[in-house]
Amino acid sequence: MASFALICSEAGEGQTKVVSQVLDAGVDVNRAYKNDLTALMWAAGYDRAETVELLLARGANRSLKDNRGMTAKDIAVQTKSDRITELLSAG
């Protein structure tokens, strides 16, 4: 659990290198943490484009929903993160 808490924290901070290292250590990119939030949702909510790109490249599922029924894209729209919304709309 500690490494996943770390990935969410670092995703929200935009620490892409650390996120990559945690994923390399075997943490599931789509695992949900508190309130069913994933690392992708944390990165989207804090407008961390580079981290969002990494998570998507590593297989993050953009259709997962948190406990409010929101996807990472919904969170990006709510926080007015246009670049993140664009990234999550592609593909």
Pick the residue with more confidence: 90 or 31?
Answer: 31
Query: Tell me, what DSSP letter sits at residue 27?
Result: -
| pLDDT number for residue 91 | 64
What is the average pLDDT score of the chain?
Answer: 92
CA atoms of 80 and 91, how far apart (whole Å): 20
pTM recorded for the entire structure: 0.93
* In the chain, % of residues over pLDDT 70: 95
| pLDDT number for residue 1 | 46
* In the chain, % of residues over pLDDT 90: 80
